[in-house]
Amino acid sequence: MRDTLTAPPARTQVPPRHLTGPNDLSLPLIEQLLDDAAVFERGDAEAAPLRGRLLATLFYEPSTRTRFSFEAAMHRLGGQVLSAENAAQASSAAKGESLEDAIRIVSGYADAIVLRHPEVGAVERAARAAEVPVISGGDGAGHHPTQALLDLYTIKKELGRLHHLRIGLAGDLRHGRTARSLALLLSRFPGNELIMISPPELRMGTDVLDQLNEARVDETDDLHGAITGLDVLYQTRIQAERFASLDEYERYRGVYVMTVDVMHRLPEHAILMHPLPRAGEIDPLVDADPRAAYFRQARNGLWIRMAVLDWAMGR
Ligand code: NCD
């Protein structure tokens, strides 16, 4: 009795598989996750591979798609979910508990943690404190790696390849973690050209630009000019919550709006993507255009998150 109390079995034999940002994703791992997601989408996977496993989702920022798709993915894999959808108020963070302490505690209850947090680097800090895999659901204006994976999955499914593409990333590239992560992942594939479309004040950060060595990169503030040669236009929301004041945000709100008229400039074979939620950047009248891929894109999040959870906790 005494021995079992003093010497509990080690919880994990191997280091946990964290996914805190694009740098955790090697090219072979990206390809494996895209392939696994396709297997899940086809319904060819083993039934309930995560039966008996528990996922904790800790969201310190609002979310619809990311949290629901992770939770739906976990249920579809046969596992169960513990959820704090408003962790800033509903957890002991409201009493001043540190993120590290919260993660250490939740690590003892769950087999993996999905974390969304407003501070850049918070997910990496959490991973250092955790004994189980920590998967990013977005860290402030930092990164959103599973969104970038589902974006790749969508591009591959819609256009048949992930190389030799001209991709326009438009909107708030300074604060938009989805565009930042996607740019890094796209630059790993050969022959891609990235056109960064933003007002000068909302340019893509040099921390990302400096790592895009494989890709050709152009920067412009002219959406209408850039659009005509694209294979993918990736539109993003101006990130109101990241500006110092509402006045500053108002300066950029509505800077790029996709309307039925502007869609005439986008090539016939191209697709329009958006991580959603949209806040006026795409007129709902555009939804009927077959090139409008954003609702299909959101749905793909389910397959990618099944693949990510299975990789982190399975086998
Ligand atoms: C994005 C996010 O949270 O970064 N949403 C999402 O996860 N699909 C995009 C955004 O909020 O603008």
pLDDT for the residue 8? 55
Instruction: Please write the tens of the pLDDT for every residue from 122-142.
Output: 999 999 999 999 999 999 999
Q: Which of 77, 144, 134, 82 lies closest to 109 in space, CA to CA?
A: 82
Distance (angstroms) between ligand 1 centre and the Cα of 62 equals: 9
Q: Which of 244, 221, 239, 70 lies closest to 147 in space, CA to CA?
A: 70
Largest CA distance in the chain: 75
Q: Which of 201, 229, 202 lies closest to 216 in space, CA to CA?
A: 229
Atom of ligand 1 nearest to the CA of 237: 12
pLDDT for the residue 13? 65
Does the annotation count 296 as an active-site position?
Answer: no
Asked whether residue 50 carries a pLDDT value surpassing 60, the answer given is yes
User: How far apart (Å, rounded) are the C-alpha atoms in residues 90 and 51?
Assistant: 28
Instruction: Please write the tens of the pLDDT for every residue from 54-97.
Output: 999 999 999 999 999 999 999 999 999 999 888 888 778 878 88
Does the annotation count 95 as an active-site position?
Answer: yes
What phi and psi values does residue 283 have, to the nearest 5 degrees? Answer: -65, 130
Which CB contacts under 8 angstroms, 24+ apart, belong to 292-297?
Answer: 293/154, 293/158, 296/154, 296/158, 297/150, 297/151, 297/154, 297/273
Average pLDDT for 202-216? 94
Asked whether residue 1 carries a pLDDT value surpassing 50, the answer given is no
The residue contributing the CA closest to ligand 1 atom 1 is 275
Asked whether residue 299 carries a pLDDT value surpassing 70, the answer given is yes
What phi and psi values does residue 168 have, to the nearest 5 degrees? Answer: -100, 125
Cis peptide before 284 (omega within 30 of 0): no
Distance (angstroms) between ligand 1 centre and the Cα of 263 equals: 23
If one residue of 59, 66, 294 were mutated to test the ligand 1 pocket, choosing by the most ligand atoms within 8 A of its CB, it would be: 66
Asked whether residue 11 carries a pLDDT value surpassing 60, the answer given is no
Residue identified by tokens 């990164």 is 143
